[in-house]
Amino acid sequence: MSERIDEQQNELVQLIKRYSSEDGCHPTAIPSLFVISESHVTEPVYSVYKPSFCIIVQGEKEVLLAKESFKYGPGDYLVASLDLPVTGQVINASSNAPYLALKLEFTPRQILEVLDDAAIQVGPEKRSNRAMFVSQVEESLLDAVVRLARLLDNPNDIPVLAPIFTKEILYRVLQGPYGRIVEQMAIEGSFTYQIREVIEFIKTNYNETIRIEELAEIANMSVSTLHRHFKEITAMSPIQFQKHIKLQEARRILLSESTDAADVAFRVGYESPSQFSREYSRMFGFPPKEDINRLRNKYEKSINA
């Protein structure tokens, strides 16, 4: 890493510490910008990433998309170009050197605006690519990230300057080695664009029985073509994708409400509570009741510590 990048990262360390007084992911005064801090190695966290740019300035993290691993740390950034169910785990952090990161969510409309402003002519590619990647950060990109984060200290400048600096960050990502992956999410007619529409349908109807023929019709593809491109882009089949969404939502309900596993199984679209319990255990490592008790006990211990 260059000396300049080292200086930029040190400045971001101080900014993130200032705006994350405790562990967790914290929204900021800048729309779609979050600061993240963890003072210890975490257990796997299951969530659905929105399209986002994530950069670490201290510590390390591993993100699993299905069985594919993306590890990154200082000097790297990760981009998800579609809504993706993932498992994230901070693998390097301590109270003396906490994991510190920034996440900037973005939309296809913002990508199109950058492409239009830069007069970049892009058409749909004839192949599909994984909708997640890790790349090395460049000085020009990190400089734009620093300028965006500095606005937290100058909130009056946010309405005017935050959109400009956000656009610059996206422009730098588009100019990077994996820029075409991000471009394709916004290009109508691309495989990524078509799969994005299928993902939206699955998310909206995750608790319904979904016919693969219906998804193929939404994507304007044959069933076999849909399967192939969906797996190339998301690392899983449409049915596996729906299962991830179902089980993550089930876990969220069990943690936030006083209800039993059988009721939740039916709410998220399972016809058999025993099948729900089996698939829940396979994903999270414990049966529903044991898992929720374990998580609640762990939370109470951290509060009382």
| Residue whose C-alpha is closest to residue 54's, from 101, 111, 107 | 101
How far apart CA 190 and CA 147 sit, in angstroms, is: 33
Q: Can you give the pLDDT at residue 4?
A: 87
10-residue stretch averages of pLDDT, the chain, 305 residues long: 85 96 95 96 95 98 97 96 97 96 97 91 83 96 98 97 98 95 92 96 96 96 96 97 97 92 96 96 95 84 58
- CB proximity list for 142: less than 8 A, separation 6 or greater: 5, 8, 9, 55
Q: Are residues 250 and 137 in the same domain?
A: no
Q: Can you give the pLDDT at residue 122?
A: 79
CATH number, position 153: 2.60.120.810
**DSSP assignment string, 262-274:** HHHHHHTT-S-HH
Domain range for residue 268? 241-304
**Strand, helix or coil at 239?**
helix
How far apart CA 112 and CA 116 sit, in angstroms, is: 6
Question: Torsion angle, CA of 29/31/32/34, rounded to 10 degrees?
Answer: -10
Q: Are residues 122 and 19 in the same domain?
A: yes
**What is the layout of strands, in order, in the sheet containing 84-92?**
45-49, 84-92, 60-65, 68-72
Q: Are residues 174 and 93 in the same domain?
A: yes
Q: Are residues 150 and 50 in the same domain?
A: yes
CATH number, position 232: 1.10.10.60
Q: Can you give the pLDDT at residue 305?
A: 54
How many domains, the chain?
A: 3
Q: Quote the pTM value.
A: 0.93
Q: Are residues 31 and 156 in the same domain?
A: yes
Give the CA distances from residue 282 to residues 246, 254, 263, 279, in Å, rounded to whole numbers and listed in that order: 13, 17, 19, 5
Q: Can you give the pLDDT at residue 208?
A: 95
Write the single-letter amino acid at 5. I
Q: Can you give the pLDDT at residue 303?
A: 57
- Are 233 and 191 in contact, with CB atoms under 8 Å apart? yes
